[in-house]
Chains A and B, each alone.
Chain A
Amino acid sequence: MTTRPLAQEAVASRRRWRISLSERHLPFILLLPSVIIMLLVIGFPMLYSLYLSLTSYTLTTAQNYDFIGLKNYATLLFDDPLFWASFGRTVLFITLAVNIEFLLGLGIAHLIARAIRGQSVARTLIMMPMMFAPILVGFQFKWFFNAQVGLVNNILYAITGEPHFIPWLIDKPLGFISILIAEIWMSTPFMVVILEAGILSLPQEPFEAAEVDGASGWQKFRHLTLPMLLPFIYTAMAIRSLDIARAYDVVQIMTGGGPANRTELIWTYVNRLAFTGQQFAVGAAMSYITVIFSWIFTWWFFYNVIKSRWAGGQS
């Protein structure tokens, strides 16, 4: 793995960085443009919607609304079973998606890493789903799972010789499974890429030693590959968990959260409430509640990253 200087040396070299005045300002000069752009494009709109979430703003009363404090938050948290149902479903969705994507990703990454030839072709092919716009994925899988003319039912028809009209997007577990499949198809490649990078960067020596000791494939995987891959696994799963809001486009187009709220995730609910339902303030409050939860997760994750990276220790 990578070599790092001894701790004292690092401190010494960093101390040298701080000598001249201009260099003391260098970090701020380098960071400033990023900070300005992010505050403008993300920070300001977030503050604005935070303010709106404390009012009675709706899309048709934009010129005339009142400050109502935390009422929207209270209504959602204590008086809206649909919010909690969507929230719970979103957590379940993320958990299932991320774990299945991880297992699939690990498997495929292994297959590619062990392939004799055609690795770049395989890698480009497996990355195809990453090149699909999420809305396109949504349209596509909506069509695949169509009960009348969808590819899945058509294949069943071809195999069994009898027409099947399985309502994939409607029935209770099926709807959720269908959106899960679309999400997994779209995002597994990301896992593959990160995990393959991990596999390729594994050192050879321990494996050769294990081979000499006559370790089985599973033993090598369990005691060598997995522990050494952990940092990559950690990273890939955390990034995916944060990115999962991308699934909004897919789900919105496939089912719109329906029918009967059976596939409602937080973000389809926000859209239905804030835009279709015009209650932007309530939608903003819901976004905030959700964002705060994901911030706690992000904070926890990156806090650990900072600890492991910046403590100078090996991961």
Chain B
Amino acid sequence: MSVATRTKSFSRSRRRGRILNEIFLWFVLFIFFIPVLWIILTSVRIRSEINAFPPVWIPSGFSFDSYKILFGMPTPEGAFGLGGSIPVGDYARNSIVISLVSTLFALVLGTAAGFVFARFKFRYKNGTFLAMMLFRAIPGIALSLPLFILYARLGLSDTVPGMILIYVALNIPFTAWLMDGFFRAIPEELEDAARIDGCSHWGAFVRVDLPLALPGAAAAGIFAFLTSWNEFALASIITRTPASRTFPPALFEFTGQFVSDWRGMTAMSVLMLIPAVIFVAIVQRQLMEGLTSGATKG
């Protein structure tokens, strides 16, 4: 199962193949990484070199003005094409709070739902499960206007709880489906043993199933977090002000009708990537562990 032991079992004669494999891998990764590099580079370039023709390959210098503007520090040029200061702190707070809280709720509810689908038998179970998955197939743009009207009536538009609710709903189906697979992968004998030891079903769930399913929850959590973190169609309609606006619609604000601040946009993108990278880097080992335990198997 573990990669290390498997690697050892390969014979030495394969070494050259391995090295080729390594070179090829890092080459492919580099290709995939170009857009990331490009974003970072653009964010610190001198403005006149960004859209220059003929292209300027070697920057004549670097400028951190875009970051300074984002952090409200004075710059010689000032904010370009954008009125006033950019409430990047508010956006960051909203994005982090909304993504984390909605992920948490989606995990709790999705785990509960997955547990039910994996362990209980009841009428209309298949129907309920299918209905949930059908909800997943609906794209944001089809929901946007009716949801906007509903939210305005309920007083939820432009609020953080409103956004959390949306992302919880969007993430429950996939989470439930993944967790259903994880619970299924746990041998029922373990649970039965716990029951014999006097645990209630609830107790068995908490003591046996849940700890074993945790890596799976981490995997589901990554997907849920990234969905919320990057969602644009609904966020751009429901959020209006820094009270609830998240990063993706805020990125869009850098494009004007007449002027766009590409460098500012890339700078904010870099800021937006940092928490996501940290989150993924921390959880990616659990992700692999979780996914290999069988959740994604049909």
Contacts and interface: CB of A to CB of B under 8 A. Distances in A.
Interface in A142-177: 143-144, 148-149, 151, 154, 157-158, 163
B172 A37 contact: yes
A37 B142 contact: no
B32 interface: yes
Contacts of B172: 34, 37-38
9 contacts: A9-B188, A41-B143, A44-B146, A124-B284, A132-B269, A135-B248, A140-B35, A154-B55, A310-B126
Interface of A: 1-5, 9-10, 13-14, 16-18, 23, 26-28, 30-31, 33-35, 37-38, 40-46, 48-49, 52, 107-108, 111-116, 119-120, 122-137, 139-141, 143-144, 148-149, 151, 154, 157-158, 163, 185, 188-189, 193-194, 196-198, 200-201, 204, 208, 230-232, 234-236, 239, 242, 245-246, 248-249, 267, 270-271, 274-275, 280, 284, 287-288, 291, 294-295, 297-299, 302-306, 308-310, 315
Contacts of A49: 142-143, 145-146
Given A123-B288, A133-B272, A115 B21 contact: yes
Given A249-B233, A299-B130, A302-B133, A30 B32 contact: no
Interface string B51-72: 1111101000000000000000
A42 B6 contact: no
Which of B39, B169, B180 gathers the greatest number of chain A CB atoms within 10 Å?
Answer: B169
Contacts of B35: 129, 132, 137, 140-141, 144, 185
Contact of B24 (A14, A111, A120): A111
Interface stretch (B75-83, B86-94, B290-298): B290-298
A131 B276 contact: yes
B185 interface: yes
A200 B293 CA distance: 10
Contacts of B233: 248-249
A108 B24 CA distance: 9
Q: Is the interface of B mostly helix, strand, loop or mixed?
A: helix
Interface string B123-146: 000101110111111111111011
A113 B6 CA distance: 10
Contact of A235 (B29, B32, B130, B298): B298
A134 B28 CA distance: 21
A68 to B, nearest CB: 18
B132 A38 contact: yes
Contacts of A108: 25, 28
Contacts of A201: 1, 292-294
B287 interface: yes
Interface in B268-288: 269, 272-273, 276-277, 280-281, 284-285, 287-288
Nearest to B172: A34
B9 A204 contact: yes
Given A17-B120, A193-B288, 8 more contacts: A37-B109, A42-B143, A49-B142, A130-B280, A194-B296, A230-B298, A298-B137, A315-B297
Contact of B51 (A149, A288, A295, A315): A149
A162 B116 CA distance: 64
Contacts of A2: 184-185, 187, 293-294
Contact of B230 (A44, A132, A230, A309): A132
B22 A115 contact: yes
A42 B169 contact: yes
Which of A13, A40, A48, A139 gathers the greatest number of chain B CB atoms within 10 Å?
Answer: A139
Contact of B134 (A9, A122, A298): A298
Given A45-B146, A198-B296, A267-B141, A135 B55 contact: no
B206 interface: no
A16 to B, nearest CB: 8
A28 B6 CA distance: 45
